[in-house]
Amino acid sequence: MTTFFNASPTPSLDAMQQQLAQAGIKLCVTRKRVKNFNFRLKPMLLSMSAPLFTTDKHIAHALQQRLPWVISQHERLITQQAQSQQQQDGAFLLWGEPQSISQSQAMSEAQKIEYYRQALAQVMPALFAKWQPIVGATANETRIKKMRTRWGSCNTQAKRIWLSAYLPAYPIECSEYVIVHELCHLHHPNHSPEFWKAVKTAMPEYRRWHDQLAGKLC
């Protein structure tokens, strides 16, 4: 994946947050009594501590300098996370439940992905039919893609939603959350407070499934 960065002028802090959000990374900035900027990158989360009286402009400038590194390292972390999740105790996970180890050992990585793809394809029509009326938005097209850096994506103009083929490794409620998340982008093509309010209105318990994807996403 190729990402282009504009070095000058420095984007606003809000613009930097949007760039990170597009890569599936939530930014958490904390001002502390420290002398330097400190960064801590986890899957789907970048924590940044800044000197107490630092302006948003200086924070955005520091982020801009490190953005290429953050994006590349985040992709590596997500890949490691996916591999670790699938290889946990040698088990093959389906909807969050370990399947037979012998089955897992007999399947190649490509076969596992195809197995996940078929499992997700079977439930997607029913899940979209369930959540589209609740969210009040309808996708024109839904697809499955082998995505390691995102659980889902939404083309708001075409109203096309992609889901990651890796989702069936997690409880099915996680797939439902991702569907709700992407459908809400048809109302709000960003991660603004209004967007998260829409997610919570549609799925009050979304944080549980959001955190489950984040902890093993923001």
Please check whether residue 5 lies inside any domain of the structure.
no
Q: Across residues 163-169, what is the average pLDDT?
A: 93
Q: Which of 65, 87, 109 is the last residue of a domain?
A: 87
CATH number at residue 29: 3.30.160
131: tokens are 């959540």
42, part of any domain = yes
In a shared domain, residues 70 and 131: no
- Output the pLDDT for position 96: 82
What is the model's pLDDT at position 127? 96
Give the total residue count for the chain: 218
Q: What is the pTM of this model?
A: 0.60
Decide if 21 is inside a domain: yes
Give the Cα separation of 83 and 188 in Å (integer): 32
- Note whether 132 and 206 are same-domain residues: yes
* Pair 175, 144: CB distance under 8 Å: no
- Give the residue from 64, 75, 21, 45 showing the smallest Cα distance to 188: 21
Single-letter residue type at 145: K
- Cα–Cα distance between 127 and 131 in angstroms, integer? 6
Domain of 131 in residue numbering reads as: 91-215
Percent of the chain with pLDDT over 70: 85
Residue 81 pLDDT exceeds 80: no
Please say if the pLDDT value at position 2 is more than 90: no
Number of domains in the chain: 2
* Contact predicate 167/85, CB 8 Å: no
pLDDT of 89 over the 80 cut? no
Shared domain check, 71 and 150: no
Q: Is the pLDDT of residue 56 over 70?
A: yes
**What's the pLDDT at 158?**
94
Last residue in a domain, options 56, 87, 118: 87
- pLDDT recorded at residue 91: 59
What is the CATH classification number for the domain harbouring 133? Answer: 3.30.2010.10
Q: Is residue 191 part of a domain?
A: yes
For β-strands 160-164 and 152-155, DSSP reports them as antiparallel
